[in-house]
């Protein structure tokens, strides 16, 4: 797995995810914040929402916000856990890996590795990803 260079913008992205989850954290719920950096330089954020049966993760909320504003080129995605544990960067679930790959197969994801922020391509997190071959 190739590690990509961490930029100042990446650190701002983590901070944006922390800010959104800190602002909307609900102790009685599993709360995650996500932030998406677009090629335009804009950052979009979101928190997960829950229901008894299903609730989207924070990543699709943030990606949906970006897409809703006409952003089609997503470059970096990050998610952080809410609560009192210091807002650790957490990896995307399997569904979110597929979602990021579907929208932006060249995008990178920020992760925590032994306390260090690392950045890897989504293709490294989802090898041999499902895709609709009729799209090619
Ligand atoms: Zn997810």
pLDDT tens per residue across span 57-110: 999 999 999 999 999 899 999 999 998 788 999 999 999 999 999 999 999 999
Residue pair 121/2 in contact (Cβ under 8 Å)? The answer is: yes
CATH number at residue 37: 3.40.140.10
Residues tagged active-site? 59
- Report yes or no on 74 lying in a domain: yes
Query: Cβ–Cβ contacts within 10 Å for residue 124, how many?
Result: 13
What's the 79 CA to ligand 1 centre distance in angstroms?
9
- Report yes or no on 68 lying in a domain: yes
- Report yes or no on 117 lying in a domain: yes
- Report yes or no on 98 lying in a domain: yes
Straight-line distance from the first to the last Cα atom of the chain, in angstroms, rounded to the nearest whole number: 26
Residue pair 35/78 in contact (Cβ under 8 Å)? The answer is: yes
- Report yes or no on 2 lying in a domain: no
- Report yes or no on 1 lying in a domain: no
What's the 59 CA to ligand 1 centre distance in angstroms?
6
pLDDT at 54: 80
Q: Give pLDDT tens digits for 18-46.
A: 999 999 988 888 899 999 999 999 999 99
pLDDT at 50: 85
The confidence band for 134, taking pLDDT boundaries of 50, 70 and 90, is low
pLDDT at 135: 62
pLDDT at 130: 87
Read off the tokens for 34: 């996500």
| Structure-model confidence comparison of residues 5 and 1, the more confident one | 5
Task: Give how many domains the chain has, as a whole number.
Answer: 1
- Report yes or no on 3 lying in a domain: no
Cα separation, 14 vs 44, whole angstroms: 11
Cα separation, 107 vs 50, whole angstroms: 26
pLDDT at 124: 96
**80, β-bridge pairs:** 33, 89
- Report yes or no on 32 lying in a domain: yes
pLDDT at 26: 85
What's the 42 CA to ligand 1 centre distance in angstroms?
22
The boundaries of the domain holding residue 96 are 8-135
Q: What are phi and psi of 105, to 5 degrees?
A: -65, -15
């Amino acid at each position: 797995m190739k590690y990509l260079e961490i930029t100042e913008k990446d650190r701002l992205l983590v901070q944006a995810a922390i800010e959104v989850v800190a602002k909307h954290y609900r102790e009685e719920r599993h709360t995650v914040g996500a932030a998406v950096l677009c090629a335009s330089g804009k950052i979009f954020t979101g928190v997960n929402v829950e229901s008894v049966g299903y609730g989207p993760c924070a990543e699709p909320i943030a990606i949906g916000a970006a897409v809703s504003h006409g952003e089609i080129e997503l470059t970096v995605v990050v998610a952080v856990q809410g609560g009192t544990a210091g807002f650790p960067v957490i990896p995307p679930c399997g569904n979110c890996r597929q979602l990021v790959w579907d929208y932006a197969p060249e995008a990178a994801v920020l992760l925590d590795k032994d306390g260090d922020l690392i950045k890897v391509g989504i293709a490294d997190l989802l090898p041999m990803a499902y895709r609709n071959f009729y799209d090619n």
